[in-house]
Each structure stands twice: as structure tokens, then as C-alpha cells.
Amino acid sequence: MLWIEQGLYLRVEELTNGPRPLPLLSGFNRDTAYRALGCFNPSETSDAYYILSNDRDEIWFICNRHLRTAFLAPASDAFRLALTPAALLARAAEVLPAAAPLHLSR
């Protein structure tokens, strides 16, 4: 097991003819960010396998080559978060401080 950033969320970007299991055939989808529960790196390969919970609440080891970083949400304890524009805007509003009023000078 490797240590990973707390609250790391990953999105699926499945490679054609990529390593098995193929995430989109294993209960994952492109419209969801999945919390990395752990990471495993077998000594016989240069690939790392992230431990994720799919949409059916099954635990899978998915090759890092199928995954891309989505965002960090250390305060979240959700296994999955939507990647829809509305959900991303709401999440940004939670983590970004309120904008200070702009003062324009001449």
C-alpha cells in the first residue's frame, strides 16, 4: 500500500485496449469522481492500481493509466461525487473564500 493525498478524487479516462479491468465495463462512469481509498503498486509492474468504490459499491483495483486527477476534497467523506457543471460549481463555492469586493482605482 502506498500513501496518497487525503481526499484525492479521480475521474475515469478509459484507454482503448488498456490494462484490465476496464473501468467502464466494471461499474464506473465518466460523469463521477471517485475517491481514492488506497493505492497498490505490485513489484512486477510500473503501474499503480488505485482502490476505488464503483457505482455498485464494489471495491476495485483500477490501473492508474485509466485515471486522471479530478480534485482534492479532504473534508469530504463521500466515495463518489458528480462531475456535472452544477456540482462542480457548488463544490467550488464551498472551498473558495467569498470574493472580496473589487476596488478599482484610476
Tens-place pLDDT, residues 9-39: 999 999 998 999 999 999 999 999 999 999 9
Q: Strand pairing partners for 59?
A: 53
H-run or E-run covering 85: helix 85-95
Is the whole model's pTM more than 0.75, yes or no? Answer: yes
Tens-place pLDDT, residues 51-63: 999 999 999 999 9
Residue found by looking up cell 486527477 in the block: 69
Burial class (CB in 10 A: 0-12, 13-18, 19+), 62: buried
**Which has the higher per-residue pLDDT, 90 or 103?**
90
Residue 39 — φ and ψ, nearest 5°? -145, 140
Q: What does the buried/exposed string (b/e) look like for 72-98 if buried means 16 or more CB atoms within 10 Å of the residue's CB?
A: ebeebeebbbebeeeeeeebeeeeeee
Going by DSSP bridges, is the β-strand pair 59-63/38-40 parallel, antiparallel, or unpaired?
unpaired
